[in-house]
Chains A and B, each alone.
Chain A
Amino acid sequence: MKPFPHKTTSIGNGVSFGTIPMERFQSSLIAVSLIVPLSSETVTENALVSLMLGRSTADYPTYRLFSRNLNRLYGAVAGSSLQKLGDEESLTFAASTIDSGLALHGEDLLMESAKLVLSMVLHPLIEDGAFAEETFRLQKKYLADSIRAEINEKRRYAVNQTLRLMLGDEPGGLPLYGFLDKLEKITPQSAAEAYARILRECRIEIIHVGTGDAKRIQPLFEEAFRDGFVEGRNPCTRPAFRPIPAPSSVKTASDDFEVVQSKLCIGYRVNLTPGGEELSAMRMMVAILGGTATSKLFLNVREKQGLCYYCGANLDRTKGIILIDSGVRPDKVEAAKEAIFREVEAMQKGEFTDEDIRFALLSLQNTFRSVEESPFSVESYYRAQKVFGIKETPEDQCRKLSAVTREEIVKAANMLQLDTVYLLNGTASEGEAEEDCDGEVSYDG
């Protein structure tokens, strides 16, 4: 058995430095994640701060200078991202470059990218207690645009609506980009205060993946995050997992949009914990139901009955939610809904073959064994493991999956509690594509 590859050491108060050496990538990724609780009060300002830090720094005060530096570093990829981890969020700042050995002029790319990440996290464009006016204005507008842009892609919009209905005000249900009304009230000063708060309360996970000797960059991070790097630091602790109670009755909702394809989303609750006992069986259940190209939803609802263009099931282990989402012709919604329910019932009655089980296992194992194929997926996998306090390699997960029995899968299927049915109703009839100003329709319905 291979040892757990993620070696971590504590290098400060709530600061962990870890490395996952992988020669094969011939590139390195350095990621610093600031992990903070999700709350409706802070989620919007956290998003704005993350955006501002990830696009310019005191060392590279405009995005143009920031980008020039990336080009100089052989098209390095750097910036910030947001990710939900249960009831917490991760503000991650990362830089990835090719291995120094491939540089044309002998640059020390590992060191340069470490410095760049630190510049994003610790040298923001703040002067006299306020973010620089320009970066504030631009990123605030960009965030507002991004919040409003949710409506542009209807599949994503429908999934988000369903999750909002299911999770209400739960921290884990908050939108990572936050809320427009909260955004309006943020000022350059309050954003700077939010930045200071984030540094005070966050746990910090630093992860290096790929080539290069992490020992060379570790002192840089030790120095940067030494005790007292921010005043009054009191890192948050991981909140206990809270199961969300099932609703007393099934929620239904729908919205009309002038689009040709409707989106039907069906949300179930399951009583799970991120690293819990039932997780492997639930993964198998979801794969058989709707996780692969031979799954019941794909083969029966899409291929045989032709009711949906896409129809699949997804498990969110951090919130205990299974979401089935599909794209349907408006006149086939009821038929699709019934067909989906039939497949769920079939799972609950154990109506699936040993071949279904074998295919689901092979498919899930293939997915887990592919985690270690890119520095980005390695980083995000092991970061989540660390945050949830789990120590399992993808290979460990494969072993657990292969031990799952038919009975456990049936049991998992019977844990499903229907919570919400949401329909994004397409009202544009076929052939009624909107015309442009001079009357030419180039996209036939």
Chain B
Amino acid sequence: MDKEILSSERLKASYIRYRHPSGLSILLYPMEGFSTAYGLFGTNYGSVDTCFRKKGDPAFTEVPAGIAHYLEHKLFESEDGDAFKLFAATGAEANAYTSFDRTCYLFSCTSKFEESLKALLTFVQHPYFTEETVRKEQGIIGQEIRMYQDSPGWRVLFELLSCLYEHSPVKIDIAGTEESIAQITPELLYTCYDVFYNLNNMVLAIAGNFDPDAAMQVIEQNLRDTPPVEIERAPYNERREAIKSRAEIQMDVSLPQFYIGFKQRPAEGESAFLRQQFELEILHELLIGSTSSCYEKLLRQELISASFGTEVFAGRGFLVSLFGGDSENPEAVWDALMKEVQRLKKEGIQEEDFHACKNAIYGRMVRALRDVEDSATALLSAEMAGISFFDSVQMLADITPADVARRLETDFDPDTAAMAVVRPRG
């Protein structure tokens, strides 16, 4: 088995990476002094992966929206009952989440680490779907979908994504719709499971209080062999421009909430894509972050408040620069942001501001390494982006003001932007 020790002198940290013959990437980061161990078992599979084929298959398979999330729920069930029960016996706290392009299963424990790890590996690798259990889940997930429908922030995000994307499933709720989940069958779940829960498509990251040798022993004994797989996802031909520039809904909110988004073309190659995301993060801060003159001006005019924030909304096949918050007058925020983009393009980037932004991001990455949960997540994310965590820190360090200026030119065209608003009923 291929073993590497990755370390950084600057960050005073190191972790172990194994490439297991099964295809699984294993990241082990023991942390001295902590009492918790955190295990994260993730697959490169999320809500956007609804049309795919294995290399060699003649045609693409299309599956209903929300199936990745459904699968996540159903994996907790086995012939012998509920996986939560396995963890209850170790005292570990177990959970799972599905995002647009990733599904992760996790536990956090302060004792009986080996049993908890075994439980994690066991239930994720043993699917058990029957007509009856699949049908039963529709009620619970239907309620989850409804609950999110009542959340103004969630609703307005998908309104925006529908302005930006015509075909990509990213515009559909991660949990799908009540109609789409009604089409899910045990066969479809097995199809998705067999393709995406192949260990070649997965990463296991463990951080905190545990013994790496003991962990490897449990892992060796509990990995199921899977034949190598190459997954091809159907591309979505999205046009460069936004589909429409505005959307609006009404709900019981006290103030209008808005999202402004610029749709961007993800850079080719995982590593270039990650670098693009760093550059955008710096740009967000320079444009309208809390240290910018634009933010200060909008704050003074009471057009934004502390609720305002920015996000690089990125995943496989999609990328949006997001700006959102509460405002009495979202149109005025839109105008100010568009003007600021033009001004920054013309006047260029201040070196001092640029370096302060990089410092802040560096600090956040350093902190992540001192938190059991954050570190496992950060290591897994970097691995899924095809890079080591330390290389990603170096990647950030290498970014220059000129890189960021170029990014501003290419990724902030007003034609690619849209705004969605949820207004108080009236």
A interface residues (Cβ-Cβ under 8 A, vs B): 22-27, 55, 62-64, 67-68, 70-76, 97-98, 101-102, 104, 134, 137-138, 141-142, 145, 148-154, 257-261, 292-294, 299, 302-303, 306, 308-310, 327-329, 358-359, 361-363, 365-367, 369-370, 372-374, 426, 430, 433-438, 440, 442-445
Q: In the complex, given contacts A71-B285, A434-B249, A436-B248, what are 11 additional A-B residue pairs having Cβ atoms less than 8 angstroms apart?
A: A22-B33, A64-B293, A64-B295, A260-B149, A309-B140, A327-B147, A370-B35, A440-B162, A442-B158, A444-B178, A444-B179
Let me know if A257 and B252 touch, CB within 8 A. yes
Are A26 and B370 in contact, CB atoms less than 8 angstroms apart?
A: yes
Task: Say whether B35 contacts A102, CB under 8 Å.
Answer: no
Indicate which residue in A63, A72, A138, A366 contacts B359 across the interface (CB closer than 8 Å).
A72
* Complex CA–CA separation, A443 to B153 (angstroms): 13
Find chain A residues with CB under 8 A from B152 CB.
152
Q: Is the CB of A366 within 8 A of B91?
A: yes
User: Do residues A362 and B305 form an inter-chain contact, with CB atoms below 8 A?
Assistant: no
B361 proximity list for chain A (CB < 8 A): 75
B36 contacts partner chain A, Cβ-Cβ < 8 Å:
yes
Known A-B contacts A145-B254, A151-B252; the reply to A64 vs B291 at CB < 8 A is yes
Q: When the two chains form the complex, which single residue of A74, A328, A365, A443 contacts B110, counting CB atoms closer than 8 Å?
A: A365
Using A62-B296, A102-B12, A149-B326 as known contacts, say yes or no to A24 and B31 having CB atoms under 8 A apart.
yes
Q: Considering the chains assembled together, what is the distance between the CA atoms of A141 and B162 in angstroms?
A: 32
**Closest CB of chain A to B163's CB: distance in Å?**
9
Closest partner residue, chain A, to B94 (CB atom): A293
Check A72/B356 contact, CB under 8 A, given A433-B149, A443-B158.
yes
Q: Which residues of B (141-172) have their CB < 8 Å from a CB of A? A: 143-144, 146-147, 149-153, 155, 158-159, 162, 171
Q: With A and B bound together, what is the CA distance between A302 and B82 in angstroms?
A: 13
| B346 contacts partner chain A, Cβ-Cβ < 8 Å | no
Is residue B21 contacting chain A, with contact meaning CB distance below 8 A? no
Q: Determine whether the beta carbon of A141 is less than 8 Å from that of B249.
A: no
CA distance A426 to B360 in the complex (A): 43
| Contact between chains at A145 and B162 (CB < 8 Å) | no
**A-B pairs with lowest CB-CB distance, top 3:** A362-B91, A74-B363, A24-B33
Residues of the B chain whose Cβ atoms lie less than 8 Å from the Cβ of A72: 356, 359
Q: List 18 A-B contacts (CB under 8 A).
A: A67-B289, A71-B359, A72-B356, A73-B363, A102-B11, A104-B362, A149-B253, A259-B149, A299-B82, A308-B143, A359-B88, A359-B91, A362-B90, A366-B91, A372-B35, A436-B159, A440-B247, A444-B179
Q: Roughly how many angstroms separate A329 CA and B139 CA in the complex, as a whole number?
A: 10
Question: Which chain B residues lie closer than 8 Å to A141 at the CB level?
Answer: 302, 305
**B216: CB under 8 A from chain A?**
no
B84 contacts chain A at the CB level, 8 A cutoff: yes
CA distance A12 to B376 in the complex (A): 43
Of the residues B254, B299, B302, B370, contact of A25 by C-beta under 8 Å:
B370
Contacts of A260 on B, CB cut-off 8 Å?
146, 149-150
Knowing A306-B140, A369-B35, A369-B36, the reply to whether A363 touches B93 (Cβ < 8 A) is yes
When A102-B11, A152-B152, A363-B93 are in contact, do A55 and B306 touch as well, CB less than 8 Å? yes
User: Can you name the residue of chain A whose Cβ is closest to the Cβ of B151?
Assistant: A153
Q: Which chain A residues border B291 with CB–CB below 8 Å?
A: 64, 67-68, 71
A365→B91 contact, CB < 8 A = yes
Chain B residue with Cβ nearest A102: B366
Contact A148 B110 (CB under 8 A): no
**In the bound complex, CA of A188 to CA of B152 (Å):** 34
Q: Can you list, as one digit per residue, whether each of B279-306 has a CB less than 8 Å from chain A (1) or not (0)?
A: 0000001000111110110011010011
Chain B's nearest CB lies how many Å from the CB of A147? 9
Q: How many residues of B contact A (CB 8 A)?
A: 87
Across the interface, do B108 and A370 meet the contact criterion of CB distance under 8 Å?
yes
Residues of A within 8 A of B87 (CB): 293
With most chain A CB atoms within 10 A of its CB, the pick from B111, B246, B252, B257 is: B252
- Cross-chain contact A362 with B89 (CB below 8 angstroms): yes
Chain A residues, Cβ within 8 Å of B295: 64
Contact partner of A373 (CB less than 8 A), chosen from B35, B144, B151, is B35
Q: How far is the CB of A366 from chain B (nearest CB, A)?
A: 4
Give the distance in Å from the alpha carbon of A68 to the alpha carbon of B296 in the complex. Answer: 12
Would B363 and A329 count as touching, CB distance under 8 A? no
Given contacts A309-B147, A365-B91, A366-B109, A68 and B159 within 8 Å (CB-CB): no
Q: Is B255 an interface residue (CB 8 A)?
A: yes
Cβ distance A168 to chain B, nearest Cβ, rounded Å: 24
Q: Main SS of chain B's interface residues?
A: mixed
Chain A residues positioned under 8 Å from B418 (CB to CB)? none
Which residues from chain B contact A55 at a C-beta distance below 8 Å? 306
B226 cross-chain contacts in A, Cβ below 8 A: none
Residue of A nearest to B296 (CB): A64
Q: Which residues of B lie under 8 Å from residue A362 when comparing CB positions? A: 88-91, 111
For B150, list chain A residues within 8 Å (CB). 154, 259-261, 426
- Contacts known (A370-B108, A373-B34); A443 close to B149, Cβ less than 8 A: yes
In the assembled complex, the CB of A94 is this many whole angstroms from the nearest CB of chain B, namely: 15
With a cutoff of 8 Å between Cβ atoms, the chain A residues found around residue B299 in the complex are 63, 138
Residues of A contacting B35 in the complex (Cβ-Cβ under 8 angstroms): 369-370, 372-373
* A368 (CB) vs chain B CBs: closest residue: B110
User: Are A435 and B109 closer than 8 Å at their CB atoms?
Assistant: no
Name the distance in Å between B218's Cβ and chain A's nearest Cβ.
19
- The CA of A152 and the CA of B326, in the complex, are separated in Å by 11
- Which A residues lie within 8 Å of B94 (CB)? 293
Please state if B296 and A63 are interface contacts (CB–CB under 8 Å). Answer: yes
Within 8 Å by CB of A366, from B108, B257, B363, lies B108
Within the complex, the shortest CB–CB distance from B159 to chain A, in Å, comes to 6
Structural contact, B147 and A145, CB atoms closer than 8 A:
no
Tell me whether B249 and A435 are in contact (CB under 8 A). Answer: yes
User: Mask for B19-40, Cβ within 8 A of A = 1, else 0?
Assistant: 0000000000001111110000
Residue pair A152, B140 in contact (C-beta under 8 Å): no
A150 cross-chain contacts in B, Cβ below 8 A: 254
State whether B252 touches A294 (Cβ < 8 A). no
Tell me which residues across on chain A come within 8 A of B162, comparing CB atoms. Answer: 440, 442
Contact B110 A23 (CB under 8 A): no
Residue of A nearest to B358 (CB): A71
Question: Which residues from chain B contact A433 at a C-beta distance below 8 Å?
Answer: 149, 249
On whether the beta carbons of A98 and B366 are closer than 8 Å, the reply is yes
For B108, B249, B359, the residue with the greatest tally of chain A CB atoms inside 10 Å of its CB is B359
Complex: chain A residue closest to B300, CB-CB: A134
| Contact of A74 with B359 in the complex, beta carbons under 8 Å | yes
Q: Which residue of B lies closest to A149 (CB)?
A: B254
Q: How far is the CB of A20 from chain B (nearest CB, A)?
A: 13
**By the criterion CB–CB under 8 Å, are B91 and A74 in contact?**
no
* B362 A442 Cβ-Cβ under 8 A: no
In the bound assembly, the distance between CA atoms of A369 and B91 in angstroms comes to 11
Residue of A nearest to B326 (CB): A145
